[in-house]
Structure 1
Amino acid sequence: MAVNKTQYTEACVGDVIEAVADKQKREDSYALIELMEKASKEKAQMFGPSIIGFGKYQYKYDSGHEGEAPLIGFSPRKAAISLYVYSDGTSQDPLLSQLGKFKMGKSCIYVKKLSDINLDVLQNLMDSTINFISAKYTRI
């Protein structure tokens, strides 16, 4: 079985954030760490070179592919902040309609800055995602 390229690392989260050129993204990243640590009850840890993850779970798909991934996370990318807080499809749609200004990817939400979104709704999305993953997969 192939090993996943993206895994948890020992890299320093603070170093990664401080390397972000945009001051607003750095400030938003520190705010997201606080929010996500509170939601997950887990410390921030680097997942690969650019994703800041919180908690872990073991997944195994019907195809046989398996691995570890963060319960929730984010990445302060140049174009936008990628939020990995979406998992449950249609049951989260009502929350998305109240979130604010964002773009949707296949499995993540892109925001330019935190002030563009409703943080209470983001909290509900994180809680919903953690509950969904915890019910479906094994947390480690």
Structure 2
Amino acid sequence: MAKAENKTQPTAQTPAEFIDQIDHPVRKADAKRLLEIFGETTSLAPRMWGPAIIGYGRYAYKYESGREGDFLMTGFSPRKANLSIYILPGYLDLEDKLARLGKHKVGKSCLYINKLADIDEDVLAEIIDHGVQYMRARYETWEE
């Protein structure tokens, strides 16, 4: 099966341009801080994916169905309701880190945080690093 185009693709907009457009002052400040945390933790350059996701790195995937493509390795989105942190392997085996993180909710591959003041940023960096190391060990990955 040929590679299918994902709906969410890299764009020409810069993460800084995107963040500058955020109206909410706390969400904007948190997004700027997340740029720093992700940059320091991953050593990867940020890139916009679609209109609202700031992603780091890429990985190639292939499902059992034969569908294949590539997507960001990790990233975040400063949504109106919360900060969405994308940790692509999900949160298996992270119970100890999540217990130390602070106030959050977890989806399949998303960590939802209301504001950075609610969490321990060092633990967030541990979670991000765990996700990136997992992706590098199991998939073909590359930088932009």
> When the two structures are superposed, what TM-score results if normalisation uses the length of structure 2?
0.91
- SS in structure 2 at match of 1:90: coil
Over the aligned positions, Cα root-mean-square deviation in angstroms equals: 1.3
- Runs (5+) with no aligned partner, structure 2: none
CA shift at 1:90, angstroms? Answer: 2.7
Q: Which has the higher strand share?
A: 2
2:106 aligned partner: 104
Which structure 2 residues correspond to residues 120-135 of structure 1 after superposition, within 5 A?
A: 120-135=122-137
- 2:67 is aligned with 1:65: yes
Alpha-carbon separation, structure 2, partners of 1:15 and 1:111:
22
> When the two structures are superposed, what TM-score results if normalisation uses the length of structure 1?
0.93
1:93 aligned partner: 95
For residues 27-71 of structure 1, the C-alpha deviation after alignment (integer angstroms, 9 at most, x for no partner) is: 111110011011111111101111000111111122222222222
Which structure 2 residues correspond to residues 44-83 of structure 1 after superposition, within 5 A?
A: 44-83=46-85
2:22 aligned partner: 20
2:117 aligned partner: 115
1:37 aligned partner: 39
- Tell me the percent identity: 39
CA shift at 1:89, angstroms? Answer: 3.6
- Runs (5+) with no aligned partner, structure 1: none
CA shift at 1:85, angstroms? Answer: 2.6
- SS in structure 2 at match of 1:123: helix
Q: Which runs of 4+ in 1 moved over 4 A?
A: none
* Alignment: residue pair count: 140
Q: Does the 8 Å contact 1:40/1:71 carry over to 2?
A: no
Alpha-carbon separation, structure 1, partners of 2:21 and 2:43:
26
For residues 86-120 of structure 1, the C-alpha deviation after alignment (integer angstroms, 9 at most, x for no partner) is: 52543112111111001112210111110101111
Q: Structure 1's 122 and 86: CA in aligned 2 closer, same or farther, altered over 3 A?
A: farther
